[in-house]
């Protein structure tokens, strides 16, 4: 190809859309373009270091791994150069002309749907390079790949419709980005302004940064330093830079261990949860290093999937540099490191929750689903995670929460089960007839009100040796409770139960006198192997042909006036008694959230009213 050949390309439609957003609406904070470009330069040199450990054949292998930024106030340009891996012609087209990141697509969609997003979230979604167009009306990317057959090229664009690629004779390995600043933003060609920006955003980048020939940053791997030598500001700055985060970290774990494996880890827990804000599934955020060399920025097999919200760095000198991304997932060593770290992280949550329950509670509100996902998917952490769950109970005030450990600490002597009830809200759960007997006996009941709770509790099964028992289900053994008021005799009760069974037929599996009721005449229990209303609804949502007749166990309250009257009426006015029996069942089903078709109920109700009015 001759020197004069110019290849013209148009941007992919999505890139144009993205550029439009980046330039016109996204950032109020234009200055972060520098951080984004420094970050790319640093990523590229980290990749080179890794390639160096396996490849002999690297173009200009001896070039120093440094970032050089130069300003020219007269020409109104800023230039940032690195000696990283550079790009081939194909890579230029692919990396700077199309959107590869699924995260970026999600980001765009979310922007469109919601019309806004926190401005500084952009770095998270891999649109970093395009931020150059916030400050520049022309960007040139000169580059030479590390591959020996690479070309010396320059990519040029005004950030509007497309770009051109032509040759750039003499370009060294790496990337040199020249930005011609927009008229009104010439301030970014002032050295003092840039110096301040580098110090603010990029001070601990792992490579030396020079500004107009003068060294600016201190190179340090923060995770290898002593805790006592690191300030809160440094931690925060590291989190935001290295983890491409835009919020404040809510918790932090910085530790090192020598045996059985050498590990230095610096882990952060964010304070905002993008998944909850409608973004796609977060990608693993803990990078794996070996002696300061980045092995993998988002290793899949290191931590369990549910821990994807934590971010940071794990460095282990025991990991061989030439481990490939493919074999890493199966590596016993990586698994072992992951297991040590995930245990430490869970332990950290436990300690933090104890130290500052209010803070933990606020955090939990946003991140609880990860813990619940962990219980359902990560068998080895299930029990440890159970300690992190929080919920309201019949003994907590509305709005206050506690954990299983608090519950177990309060149980009465001899109570072998942990009782819970699933429902849509505290109010709904509290007004249900299931609660009565437990309240009367002073037994604490946990209220699970998140849609996924039922599934999670089923996975859990028990806590601290105590079985988790749904009080909606039959088969819960309660001790006798001396209830107030006259009761039907045993004989009368049996006769009434038989009558009800006869009248209600297949709709009930059994009718018995129960110990559960205090104020209600009758209650419908889901058989111990039956489906709760929540699961039933879920099944229906998933399968429109789902049919499964509701069958319940009925318990009657032999002290309730209505039940006593029914016992009389079955002999004196059987016709009315039959109607009442059917209606009582429907009432119980309504209270249980299990009535599926109310047409007969309404007709019968009307007939009963008519009778009552004579
Ligand atoms: N200095 C550079 N050296 C080599 N390749 C680069 C450089 N800058 C950008 N690239 C390439 O261009 C791609 C796009 O860069 P961009 O900043 O838009 O996203 P990203 O860096 O991949 O995403 P993120 O910002 O989330 O890390 C990069 O993935 C990389 O392949």
* 129 marked ligand binding residue: yes
Query: Which residue's alpha carbon is nearest to atom 13 within ligand 1?
Result: 95
H/E stretch holding 409 reads: helix 404-410
SS3 256: strand
Query: Which residue's alpha carbon is nearest to atom 8 within ligand 1?
Result: 40
If one residue of 43, 141, 147, 285 were mutated to test the ligand 1 pocket, choosing by the most ligand atoms within 8 A of its CB, it would be 43
CA of 40 to the centre of ligand 1 (A): 5
Q: Tens of pLDDT along 90-103?
A: 999 999 988 765 55
Query: Which residue's alpha carbon is nearest to atom 14 within ligand 1?
Result: 95
| Residues ≥6 apart with Cβ < 8 Å to 145 | 59, 85, 86, 87, 88, 91, 151, 173
Taking the CA of residue 127 as reference, the ligand 1 atom at the shortest distance is 18
Q: What does the block give as tokens for 256?
A: 């090192």
Query: Which residue's alpha carbon is nearest to atom 9 within ligand 1?
Result: 40
Query: Which residue's alpha carbon is nearest to atom 25 within ligand 1?
Result: 126
**Lowest-confidence range among 103-117, 424-438, 463-477, 528-542?**
103-117
Please tell me whether the overall predicted TM-score, pTM, comes out greater than 0.80 for this model.
Answer: no
- Is the model's pLDDT at 27 over the cut of 60? no
* 193 marked ligand binding residue: no
* 301 marked ligand binding residue: no
Taking the CA of residue 104 as reference, the ligand 1 atom at the shortest distance is 26
Per-residue confidence (pLDDT) for residue 272, from 0 to 100: 92
CA of 308 to the centre of ligand 1 (A): 22
Name the band, by pLDDT with cuts 50, 70 and 90, for residue 317: confident
* 498 marked ligand binding residue: no
Q: Tens of pLDDT along 252-300?
A: 999 999 888 999 999 999 999 988 877 778 888 999 988 877 788 888 8
CA of 249 to the centre of ligand 1 (A): 25
If one residue of 47, 128, 133, 176 were mutated to test the ligand 1 pocket, choosing by the most ligand atoms within 8 A of its CB, it would be 128
Domains of the chain and CATH, by start: 7-215 (3.30.565.10), 222-366 (3.30.230.80), 392-612 (1.20.120.790)
Q: What does the block give as tokens for 445?
A: 């009941």
Per-residue confidence (pLDDT) for residue 354, from 0 to 100: 96
Q: Tens of pLDDT along 345-393?
A: 999 999 999 999 999 999 999 999 999 999 999 999 999 999 999 999 9
CA of 124 to the centre of ligand 1 (A): 12
How far apart, in whole angstroms, are the C-alpha atoms of residue 414 and residue 445?
A: 16
CA of 296 to the centre of ligand 1 (A): 15
H/E stretch holding 589 reads: helix 574-592
Taking the CA of residue 123 as reference, the ligand 1 atom at the shortest distance is 25
Nearest to 264 by CA among 225, 228, 209: 225
Name the band, by pLDDT with cuts 50, 70 and 90, for residue 418: very high
CA of 34 to the centre of ligand 1 (A): 13
* 572 marked ligand binding residue: no
Q: Tens of pLDDT along 152-197?
A: 999 999 999 899 999 999 999 999 999 999 999 999 999 999 998 8
Mean pLDDT, rounded, for 576-583: 94
Per-residue confidence (pLDDT) for residue 253, from 0 to 100: 98
Nearest to 385 by CA among 400, 399, 368: 368
If one residue of 38, 95, 130, 131 were mutated to test the ligand 1 pocket, choosing by the most ligand atoms within 8 A of its CB, it would be 95
CA of 314 to the centre of ligand 1 (A): 22
Mean pLDDT, rounded, for 110-124: 54
Per-residue confidence (pLDDT) for residue 409, from 0 to 100: 96
CA of 95 to the centre of ligand 1 (A): 7
* 124 marked ligand binding residue: yes
Q: What share of the chain in percent tops pLDDT 90? A: 61
H/E stretch holding 312 reads: strand 311-315
CA of 370 to the centre of ligand 1 (A): 29
β-pairing, 462-463 with 67-72?
unpaired
- Is the model's pLDDT at 120 over the cut of 50? no
* 583 marked ligand binding residue: no
DSSP state letters, 186-250? GGGG-HHHHHHHHHHH-TT-SS-EEETTEE-PPP--GGGS-GGG--HHHHHHHHHHHTT--S-EE
* 95 marked ligand binding residue: yes
How far apart, in whole angstroms, are the C-alpha atoms of residue 184 and residue 182?
A: 6
Q: How many CA atoms lie within 13 A of 499 on its CB side?
A: 22
Kindly give the residue spans of alpha helices, DSSP state H, lying in 66-141.
89-97, 102-114, 132-135
Per-residue confidence (pLDDT) for residue 118, from 0 to 100: 47
CA of 205 to the centre of ligand 1 (A): 16
- Is the model's pLDDT at 123 over the cut of 50? no
If one residue of 79, 105, 129, 283 were mutated to test the ligand 1 pocket, choosing by the most ligand atoms within 8 A of its CB, it would be 129
Query: Helix (H) and strand (E) counts for the chain?
Result: 20, 22
Q: Which protein residues are within 6 Å of ligand 1, measured from CB?
A: 40-41, 44, 82, 84-87, 95-96, 123, 126-130, 175, 244
Query: Which residue's alpha carbon is nearest to atom 20 within ligand 1?
Result: 126
How far apart, in whole angstroms, are the C-alpha atoms of residue 538 and residue 381?
A: 27
Nearest to 40 by CA among 89, 1, 96, 94: 96
CA of 94 to the centre of ligand 1 (A): 11
Per-residue confidence (pLDDT) for residue 480, from 0 to 100: 66
């Amino acid at each position: 190809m001759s020197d004069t050949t110019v290849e013209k390309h148009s941007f992919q439609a999505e890139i144009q859309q993205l550029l439009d957003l980046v330039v016109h609406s996204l950032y109020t904070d234009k200055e972060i373009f520098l951080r984004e470009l420094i970050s790319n330069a640093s990523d590229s040199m980290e990749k080179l270091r890794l390639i160096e450990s396996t490849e002999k054949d690297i173009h200009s292998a001896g070039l120093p791994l440094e970032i050089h930024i130069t300003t020219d106030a007269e020409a109104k340009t800023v230039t940032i150069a690195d000696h990283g891996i550079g790009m081939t012609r194909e890579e230029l087209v692919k990396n700077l002309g199309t959107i590869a990141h699924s995260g970026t697509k999600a980001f765009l969609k979310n922007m469109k749907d919601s019309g806004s997003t926190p401005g500084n979230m952009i770095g998270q979604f891999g649109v970093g390079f395009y931020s150059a167009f916030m400050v520049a009306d022309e960007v040139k990317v000169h580059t030479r790949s590390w591959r020996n057959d690479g070309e010396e090229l320059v990519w040029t664009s005004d950030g509007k419709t497309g770009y051109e690629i032509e040759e750039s004779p003499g370009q060294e390995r790496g990337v040199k980005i020249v930005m011609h600043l927009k008229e009104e933003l010439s301030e970014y060609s002032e050295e003092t302004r840039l110096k301040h920006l580098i110090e603010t955003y990029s001070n601990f980048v792992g490579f030396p940064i020079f500004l107009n020939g003068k060294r600016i940053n201190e190179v340090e791997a923060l995770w290898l330093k002593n805790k006592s030598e690191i300030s809160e500001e440094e931690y925060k700055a590291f989190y935001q830079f290295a983890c491409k985060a835009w919020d404040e970290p809510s918790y932090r774990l910085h530790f090192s261990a020598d045996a059985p494996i050498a590990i230095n880890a610096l882990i952060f827990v964010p304070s905002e949860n993008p998944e909850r804000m409608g973004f796609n599934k977060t990608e693993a955020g803990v990078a794996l290093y070996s002696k300061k060399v980045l092995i993998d920025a988002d290793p899949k097999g290191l931590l369990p999937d549910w821990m994807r919200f934590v971010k940071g760095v794990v460095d282990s000198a025991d990991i061989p540099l030439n481990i490939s991304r493919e074999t890493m997932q199966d590596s016993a060593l990586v698994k072992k490191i992951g297991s040590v770290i995930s245990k430490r992280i869970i332990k950290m949550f436990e300690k933090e929750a104890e130290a500052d329950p209010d803070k933990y509670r606020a955090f939990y509100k946003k991140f609880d689903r990860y813990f619940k996902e962990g219980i359902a998917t990560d068998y080895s952490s299930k029990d440890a995670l159970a300690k992190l769950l929080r919920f309201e109970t019949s003994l907590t005030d509305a709005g206050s929460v506690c954990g299983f450990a608090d519950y177990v600490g309060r149980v009465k002597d001899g109570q072998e089960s942990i009782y819970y009830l699933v429902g849509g809200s505290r109010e709904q759960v509290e007004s249900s007839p299931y609660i009565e007997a437990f309240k009367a006996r002073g037994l604490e009941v946990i209220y699970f009100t998140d849609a996924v709770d039922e599934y999670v509790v089923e996975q859990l099964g028990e806590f601290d040796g105590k079985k988790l028992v749904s009080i909606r289900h039959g088969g819960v053994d309660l001790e006798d409770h001396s209830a107030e008021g006259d009761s039907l005799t045993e004989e009368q009760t049996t006769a009434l139960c038989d009558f009800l069974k006869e009248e209600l037929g297949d709709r009930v599996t059994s009718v018995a006198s129960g110990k559960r009721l205090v104020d209600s005449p009758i209650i419908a229990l889901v058989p111990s192997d039956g489906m709760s209303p929540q699961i039933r609804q879920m099944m229906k949502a998933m399968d429109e042909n789902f049919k499964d007749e509701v069958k319940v166990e009925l318990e009657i309250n032999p002290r309730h006036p209505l039940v006593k009257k029914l016992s009389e009426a079955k002999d004196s006015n059987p016709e009315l008694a039959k109607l009442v029996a059917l209606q009582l069942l429907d009432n119980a089903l309504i209270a249980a959230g299990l009535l599926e078709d109310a047409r007969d109920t309404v007709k019968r109700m009307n007939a009963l009213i008519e009778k009552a009015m004579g």
